[in-house]
Structure 1
Amino acid sequence: MDKLNLYRQLIQQSLLERAKLRAPDDPVKSQTVCDHDGDHYQLVNLGWKNSSTRIYGCAIHADIIDGKIWVQRDGTEDAIADQLIEKGVPKQDIVLAYHAPHVRQYTEFAVG
């Protein structure tokens, strides 16, 4: 399997694993949104909390750009970047895009 297809598979697998963590009776659900043509992947939380508060938001957003995984947003405690590393993705192929470009050089990850 080529690298891009592997990265697509690993991102989707990580998002699906995360989505399944919610209890079946939780009124807030997690959905995966995958744009295979544009290489955009998201985990979105939606539903109602206490029957009066609408919950809707993107918890994780990752893109594949120029052969690297760009983590655009990660609002979770267990970082998707760490999950991807555990699955074999090298740090130099992950960009933490939620950090400003001038700060990325100080991380262990790719700058862009």
Structure 2
Amino acid sequence: MEGMSYPELVQTVLARHTENHQSNETEKELIFDSERNRYLVVHVGWEGEKRNYGSMIHVDIKDGKIWIQRDLTEEGVANELVELGVPKSDIVLAFRAPHIRQFTDFSVG
């Protein structure tokens, strides 16, 4: 994946989380706003009588850094991006409080 831009890398990682997953009543959707560098995976559908809707993953790219706003995956989007060559210094775990970020290996923002 060398030579890919951050938007391309984020889109690749998020797309992996929608592959081969679709139940009869719920599905995962990719929502990409490439103009503003905002990327989401949302789940939409029904579980019996209960509406199932919400964001699983939300990533923004701001000031040259990848801001992970929400990540409900087991693998961790940040870890997947690092595996693809993104330096930890370019990834902000925005879902962590600013005073906690300093204790991670990732950027504080």
Q: Same fold, TM exceeding 0.5?
A: yes
Q: What SS is found at the alignment partner of 1:71?
A: strand
> Which residue does 2:44 correspond to in 1?
46
TM-score (norm 1): 0.90
Q: What SS is found at the alignment partner of 2:108?
A: coil
Distance across 1 between alignment mates of 2:70 and 2:107: 16
Question: Residue deviations 1:39-64, cap 9 Å, x none?
Answer: 000000011112x1110000000000
- Following TM superposition, the consecutive aligned residue runs of length 4 or more in structure 1 with deviations greater than 3 angstroms are none
> Which residue does 2:17 correspond to in 1?
18
> Which residue does 1:86 correspond to in 2?
83
Unaligned runs of 5+ in 1: none
TM-score (norm 2): 0.92
Paired positions, count: 107
Q: CA RMSD in A?
A: 1.4
> Which residue does 2:56 correspond to in 1?
59
> Which residue does 2:33 correspond to in 1?
35
Q: Does 1:99 align with 2:93?
A: no
Unaligned runs of 5+ in 2: none
Q: Displacement of 1:26 after TM fit? A: 3.8
Identity of aligned residues (%): 44
Q: Which has the higher helix share?
A: 1
Counterpart among 51, 63, 76 of residue 73 in structure 2: 76
